[in-house]
A and B are shown apart, each in its own frame.
Chain A
Amino acid sequence: MTAIATPSPASAATTDRLPGDQDVWIFIFAELLMFGAFFVAYIFNWVGNVEAYTRSQLTLDRSLGLVNTLLLIVSSWAVVSAVEAARGNHSRQVARLLGMAIFCGLSFMIVKAFEYTAKLNSGISILSDDFYMFYFCLTGIHALHVMAGLTILVVMFLNAREGRYGAQTTKGLETGASYWHMVDLLWIFLFPLLYLLR
């Protein structure tokens, strides 16, 4: 992804404009609708099977879910801070903050891989019961989105290192950032649904 040389205002916070490309917002909204349907399908199935779902839920490591939530929140903060830094023409800071977001995203994936491995090693799989069917499907689809987001972050990081983002060239950065925030927003629902709600 290259920086798009479309003039953008110094700060989105002071204007009535949509950050990034409008097309990505259409995509984001479609993704949110799809995941929203998944979340409702999960809770709909939970009704009437509360005890069975709770029994399986208790075998999850809530601490790992908490760590992953904090990692995505911090990464999202780093990305929006990078956009702010670009508006202020602080290109080195942009790269540093994007690097931090990538580190958090990779850490999220490592924790997820550790969690999956532990479950599979203890004989729990997608076929174990309804709860774990939802658990592996929902977190698996989400993990694919994290990987796509990480790819975008790496491209933006490389662009930032070449100084391609500045006050007049933030559109590409804002577009990628919006996608990453969506990944965070989805996890904000997944963590309580799968790990906390009972």
Chain B
Amino acid sequence: MKTVLINPLHRTLLILVVVTGAAFWIRSDGLTGVTGGIATLAIVWLKGRLIVLDFMELRHAPALWRWLLQGWLMLTTALILLFYYIGRSGVTF
């Protein structure tokens, strides 16, 4: 087990699997209400970041591309979070 986790790709895979399970648990009433939603979106951001940096191999790529994709990830997650919060607050458009 220890030697398997030395490989950063294996570590990333393990983290992605564990946090996916955590998101599923949250939805199965592990965490309810807005807190559960915010935690779910935090997990989306974390998983996206790991995929961009480790699987897409942008961690050591030119800064422009790293920040373009991370910027997209951050902006999309933030907009979803914003509208989610508004929706849960009972506001309608």
Contact = CB atoms under 8 A, between A and B. Distances in A.
Contact of A43 (B9, B62, B69, B79): B79
Interface residues of A, number: 49
A196 B28 CA distance: 9
A126 interface: no
A13 B57 contact: yes
A16 B61 contact: yes
Contacts of B79: 36, 39-40, 43
Q: Is the interface of A mostly helix, strand, loop or mixed?
A: helix
A159 interface: no
Q: Which of B48, B54, B61 has the most CB of A within 10 A?
A: B61
Interface string B20-56: 1001101110000000010011011001100110111
A76 B51 contact: yes
Interface string B77-93: 00110011011100111
B87 A50 contact: yes
Contacts of A84: 9
Contact of A29 (B26, B40, B72): B72
Given A36-B76, A40-B79, A192-B23, A77 B12 contact: yes
A190 to B, nearest CB: 10
B87 to A, nearest CB: 4
A77 B9 contact: yes
A16 B65 CA distance: 11
29 contacts: A17-B61, A17-B62, A18-B58, A19-B56, A29-B69, A36-B75, A39-B76, A43-B84, A47-B92, A47-B93, A48-B91, A62-B28, A66-B20, A76-B51, A80-B9, A174-B57, A184-B51, A185-B51, A185-B56, A188-B51, A189-B48, A192-B40, A192-B41, A192-B43, A196-B23, A196-B27, A197-B37, A197-B41, A198-B37
